[in-house]
Structure 1
Amino acid sequence: MRSFLNNYFNIKAQGSTISREIIAGMTTFATMAYIIIVNPKILEAAGLPFGPSMVATIISAVFGTMAMGLYAKRPFAVAPYMGENAFIAFTVVKVMGHTWQTALGAIFIGGTLFIIFTVTGIRSWLIRAIPKNLKNAFVVGIGLFLAFIGLNTTGIVTIGVPGAPVHIGDLTSPTVLLALGCFFLTTILMVRKVNGALIIGIIATSAAAISMGIINVPATYVSMPPSLKPILFKLDIMGALNWGFISVILTVFVLDFLDTMGTIYAVSHRAGLLDENGDLPQIEKPLLVDAATTVFASLLGTTTTGVFVESATGIEAGGRTGLTAVTTALLFLAALFLAPVLTVIPACAYGPSLIVVGMLMMAPCKELELHDISELVPAFLVIILMSFTYNLGIGMTAGFIAYPLMKIVTGKTSEISIGLWILCALSVLFFIACPH
């Protein structure tokens, strides 16, 4: 078995080991297990029943992450996106008044378009058209976004008031103190070059939270999953195929396209998987997995899926091959029956790992062309808007619009590729049509 795994995933050639890949997969799962509860809770606001929605969330994560490991052979985890689920629940259903069935139909259409764009090579062509400086800005912006999520979920930084939207949390709170302790424990272990520093920090902090009575050990460890029948194949594709729904389809399409593109590049950069041109070899495979999983998820009854930015935690733990993703997928599969246990990991345990990884993703700052204002402005907008709008897609679209604009006013239009012009036009259309 060991020989098969090494050969199939080419583990040794990537400078990794089987044990390191498994630990990395566990780390990724631990930092994103919250999606098992959070995604169905958000979609519950749109009328989807919690139990079946939880099952759809898990199965889509198993399908996408397993395919990413076995077919694309990348250490990326796939699950329903945060942000897109809130857009469907609160904007499309609650504000615009559409049914969740029609919203799922729009997701199916978007996923189908992605499959076409991927198979024809259009999607990878557009990604290769992005300037290196913008790609580096994506990494830095996503790093700050991750760090902000970690700071907020742990309570170290909390929501403030008008005029001061964020402020320091309650530093006397046991959970905040545990989160700070977890952050320093993890970083100390990393300084000491201890393998599995992130997962050790998560496990140690979870144990401490249980011993302090902050979280409770579940009464039962195993439970049968609820039936998927109430939402399975309930999407309304024909209802989404009307002119009044075009803004929703466009928004779903653009957000998924940009989130996946930015996340794949950012985590690949951290893993050292990019080539000398800053591109990911055979990028069509992970893109196709992303697109197919979105279609599959809509049939199950859940929202847009894609590569999770939390994959960076597994990569930081040493994950370099598809075995990392397979490990994460198997843990999601176990979650169908072990949800009471696997969902008790508190934010004070997994949040600090997001802060640590966000910190490490600041490395490309030294590669940003800060001396050239035509490069600095779009990179700056990408970085700040990703975090300050809490939306990766907004930051990326702002960068795609600002880059050609700055090149035009500085007389450097020759540096704008055809693909970037298309991304700029798509971004402008997004801001016009998007139901903000």
Structure 2
Amino acid sequence: MTAASETPALPAARPAGCPFDPPGNYATLRETAPTSHVRCPAGMDAWLVTRYRDVRAVLADRTMSSRGASSVHVNPNADLDEEVSPGSIIQLDGADHSRIRKRVIAEFTVRRVEAMRGYVRELVESHLDAMLARPGEADLVRDFALPIPSLVICELLGVPYADRSRFQRQSGMLVSTDTTREERQQAYDELSGFLAGLFTDKQRNPRDDLFSRLIYRGVSSGDPLTMEELVVLGLSLLVAGHETTANMIALGTLVLLEHPDQRDVVLSAPERAVEELLRYLSVVQFGVLRYATADVRVGTRSVKAGEWLVAALNSANRDEELFPGGGKLDFHRESPRTHVAFGFGAHQCIGQQLARVELQEALTRLFRRVPDLRLAVPRESLAYKHNTLVYGVRELPVAWG
């Protein structure tokens, strides 16, 4: 690869004044160098893959290992050779990954998730009732966007919602790029200890929730998950289950406040609108990391075994070749579900159907009940999550009436 001193650094900055857009150099890279060298904060060089068709090819290639998870490249001085934990649905490959994924995939089918829509709808309505009962101003992140997916994932997994402040704080440490390795390890250990206690209780007192069913199915099949596997899997589901959706609800609301002419489509065709918002925002902002276990070609580039690649999801989702006018929000776009906001291939997000239902219900009911919703502060004063794995807005003060 190119000498480190000549290699551009990742992550690149978003364009000033354009909070919804990925780094400005991605469009140029797609045209001139769609697979290019970058230097990662973790201390290694990688190939940054920016073109849609190449991103899909990388994520679908079984010779591309996910052993480094999707995030280690943006953690300064990360341990790139750290052993993959048993039960890590994000990092395991091949048969080990399939064994874990098969344990939970039945919980996230379209039919099973649709059966939860009524519960999600009730949560949305009750939080709107509480928000509107106060004098016409609120923080949409604190009062709406964060509690809804947190309650949903707690209900599904069987985690007491009373413990939400604990896991929200710890998951915030895990997805921040500013925390030290020691701080991340402490948050990981605390959350793992909490989940171990929860699983021990469910082994003795099973209930009607996903975690209890994981334990039961393992015992009945003769291939039970170990406590370590249960904890690591549970941690992934708990953190991912509320971080991405909460940020999408808040950021999606902000986009719609900026595009009032498109709100009617949200109300009339929520499925189409949500897919376009997922494509347009692509909140997994630093891409997905892969490790080449064999020599392979990515576009016109030769990638050698032992090299790292970063598949830039937010760049792929703006690729004009597949999404004409990709830099613009367009709820009438054809084939909106071809985006890669949930990844692609064997490690595609297992909870994507649940996220879709939550976004559809939250955004349609918010703008139906509060048609005069508006920002309560100048947009320029908003603070964004530039230093977290999942992009979003830290607070969203809104007003109505």
Query: If the length of structure 2 is used for normalisation, what is the TM-score?
Result: 0.28
More helix by share: 1
More strand by share: 2
Query: If the length of structure 1 is used for normalisation, what is the TM-score?
Result: 0.26
